[in-house]
A and B are shown apart, each in its own frame.
Chain A
Amino acid sequence: MTGEAEGNAGRERVEGENATNERRAVVAKRVDAGDADLTEISQLAAAAGYEVVDELSQTRTEDAAFMFGEGKVAELRDRVLRTDADAVILDNDVGPYQTFNIGGELPEGVEVIDRFTLILEIFGQRANTRKAQLQVELAQLRYELPRAEAKASLAKRDERPGFMGLGEYDESVERDIKRQISEIRDELDSIAEKEQARREQRRDSGFDLVALAGYTNAGKSTLMRRLAAEIDVDENADRHPDLDTTAESQDMLFTTLGTTTRRAEMEKRDVLLTDTVGFIADLPHWLVESFESTLDSVYRADLVLLVVDASEPVEAMREKLVTSHDTLYERNEAPIVTVFNKVDRLAPGELADKRAALSGVAPDPVAVSAKTGAGVAELRDRVEAELPEWERERLVLPVSDDAMSLVSWIHDHGHVADETYASDHVTVDFEAKPSIVARARSKAAGLASAESV
């Protein structure tokens, strides 16, 4: 089983870094109605380096003290004892008191982890750039803040430092967290500004920015490698370690955490493709906000390719599309093209059924297989068609050194359809972004006898 093998590979890497032993976990989930689906939480646990040794689910309304029913908690304890697990992973939004209560029922030393802590743990293991580390730290602090506040307010109830007292309230922890949050925010803001400036610079150099977005494990990184030319972007490479590594891809959740940018040559236009962190359902807004500067590369692109794993059942695809739309809503500015990936795994006729069933959330999707390369040519055409329109312009320039350097500048920043030399002038017929055309015009006007036809 490939998932298992890769799960082990991931764990070894983690062990190498943290020198921890293999961790065993029991996953559990409560739902109000219907059957609990433990697939995603098990995958997340594997991605974080846990071996899932048992699972447990319950369908009932939430218990205020334990979240699960008390009997279920006893069953959980038995299962933990039987499997000798080190951790219990809960796929629910568990309150701090519920976590404490469940922990109290379990054997000594067994950790209680909820969905968000687990995701943060994965992010923490994968964060290898300054920005990613800061974002993870910010998310962790924001997770801790309400818990520290709860602790402080409980402590204040019966503890008074009193007159001349030397004691201090636990509020100092809360203040520390708030201070750290604001420091990290400042640093992230300045990183975001630099990135914005870099995006503008890239646009000015005639590149169109295309971002790959989508649910985690949709195959964004594989598609990126399929589309990208093998030339690395060398601009500022030393300052951006994320540009050095090839985007990782394997059958696992959250293999990409930072952003990776590659150049992809389309027929006419030069495109910079950015691969980003995948979306996942049920994330609290503060966690999404913590990753804002990474998601900015999606929100501020010229075109977004929303990648979906088409090998999954229609309902799963719909849920994942809805999560993606939810993440993009009110933030995204660019047109969205939906890409059905992994079509090599589909049975004949299945694709047409899925297209019809999902027409509301994904009209006219492009079907590709990043693995085999099927449909990629069509995707390239679609990307070119959906990018903002280029303007066409014809400039007649005198033959001079300055004019020649302008001609070569136009070659660098746009697509030259025709270039004709006559005795004393040269005619350049080209297409480029409106801003590039405007700059070419003003440069041409600067040349003594230039005229626009």
Chain B
Amino acid sequence: MVAAAVHARIDSTRIRSVEGMGFAAAREGPTLDATVALTAEAVGDLPEPPDGPVVAEGGEFYEEPAERVGLSFRPEFKYVESIGERETVQAAHHAAYAARDLLL
């Protein structure tokens, strides 16, 4: 598995700027614990720790409640809400996909 974290400044409908990216890779199977740990590692790999929330799509963590997944993230965790957040997650998907061959 490869995870990419994209640190971006956004408003509700678009990305204003991308501040940095972080990556992590693991050979483990896609269990919830492994996925959460990998994502946390990718967030930790960001050049600067983000001050805003960590955002992900519901499907990434098997639709588990945000409170449960959020225990592994700081400062806070939530699932995508606005179009801007969805755009950022989309950017992270592209980044992870592009990095896959390099990291695995």
* Neighbour of B82 across the interface among A33, A332, A361, CB < 8 A: A361
Interface membership of chain A positions 321-347, coded 1 if the CB is closer than 8 angstroms to chain B and 0 otherwise: 110011011101001101000000000
Number of residue pairs spanning A and B whose beta carbons lie under 8 angstroms apart: 31
Residue pair A363, B11 in contact (C-beta under 8 Å):
yes
A326, B86: Cα distance in complex, Å: 9
Interface residues of B in 1-60 (CB under 8 A from A): 11-13
Q: Judge whether A79 is part of the interface by a CB distance below 8 angstroms.
A: no
State which size class the interface on A falls in. Answer: 10 to 19
A31, B81: Cα distance in complex, Å: 21
Residue pair B83, A318 in contact (C-beta under 8 Å):
no
Residue pair B83, A329 in contact (C-beta under 8 Å):
yes
B82 CB contacts on chain A under 8 angstroms:
321-322, 325, 360-361
3 closest Cβ contacts across the A-B interface? A361-B82, A322-B81, A325-B83
Interface residues of A in 291-343 (CB under 8 A from B): 318, 321-322, 325-326, 328-330, 332, 335-336, 338
B11 CB contacts on chain A under 8 angstroms:
363
Q: Judge whether A436 is part of the interface by a CB distance below 8 angstroms.
A: no
Residue from A33, A332, A363 having most chain B Cβ neighbours under 10 A: A363
27 A–B contacts from the bound complex (CB under 8 Å): A33-B65, A318-B81, A321-B81, A321-B82, A322-B81, A322-B82, A325-B12, A325-B82, A325-B83, A325-B86, A326-B86, A328-B83, A329-B86, A330-B86, A332-B83, A336-B12, A336-B83, A338-B12, A360-B12, A360-B81, A360-B82, A361-B12, A361-B81, A361-B82, A362-B12, A363-B11, A363-B12
A326 CB contacts on chain B under 8 angstroms:
86
A325 CB contacts on chain B under 8 angstroms:
12, 81-83, 86
- Interface residue count for B (Cβ, 8 Å)? 8
Measured CB to CB, the closest approach of chain B to A340, in angstroms, equals: 14
Please, which residue of chain A has its CB at the minimum distance from the CB of B78?
A360
Measured CB to CB, the closest approach of chain B to A353, in angstroms, equals: 18
A154, B65: Cα distance in complex, Å: 37
A336, B12: Cα distance in complex, Å: 9
Residue pair B13, A335 in contact (C-beta under 8 Å):
yes
Given A33-B65, A329-B86, A360-B82, list of 15 further CB < 8 A pairs? A321-B81, A322-B81, A325-B81, A325-B82, A325-B83, A326-B86, A328-B83, A330-B86, A332-B83, A335-B13, A336-B12, A336-B13, A361-B82, A362-B12, A363-B12
A336, B65: Cα distance in complex, Å: 29
Interface membership of chain B positions 76-103, coded 1 if the CB is closer than 8 angstroms to chain A and 0 otherwise: 0000011100100000000000000000
A371, B13: Cα distance in complex, Å: 28
Measured CB to CB, the closest approach of chain A to B65, in angstroms, equals: 8
A362, B98: Cα distance in complex, Å: 32
A361, B65: Cα distance in complex, Å: 20
Measured CB to CB, the closest approach of chain A to B70, in angstroms, equals: 16
Measured CB to CB, the closest approach of chain A to B27, in angstroms, equals: 32
Measured CB to CB, the closest approach of chain B to A154, in angstroms, equals: 30
Measured CB to CB, the closest approach of chain B to A448, in angstroms, equals: 47
Measured CB to CB, the closest approach of chain A to B11, in angstroms, equals: 6
A362, B84: Cα distance in complex, Å: 11
A70, B13: Cα distance in complex, Å: 46
A33, B13: Cα distance in complex, Å: 31
Please, which residue of chain B has its CB at the minimum distance from the CB of A34?
B65
A330, B13: Cα distance in complex, Å: 11
A318 CB contacts on chain B under 8 angstroms:
81
A33, B81: Cα distance in complex, Å: 21
B12 CB contacts on chain A under 8 angstroms:
325, 336, 338, 360-363
Please, which residue of chain B has its CB at the minimum distance from the CB of A338?
B12
A360, B55: Cα distance in complex, Å: 12
A335, B84: Cα distance in complex, Å: 12
A328 CB contacts on chain B under 8 angstroms:
83
Measured CB to CB, the closest approach of chain B to A316, in angstroms, equals: 14
A335, B65: Cα distance in complex, Å: 31
B83 CB contacts on chain A under 8 angstroms:
325, 328-329, 332, 336
A140, B65: Cα distance in complex, Å: 32
A322, B80: Cα distance in complex, Å: 8
Interface residues of A in 356-398 (CB under 8 A from B): 360-363
Residue from A318, A332, A338, A360 having most chain B Cβ neighbours under 10 A: A360
B86 CB contacts on chain A under 8 angstroms:
325-326, 329-330
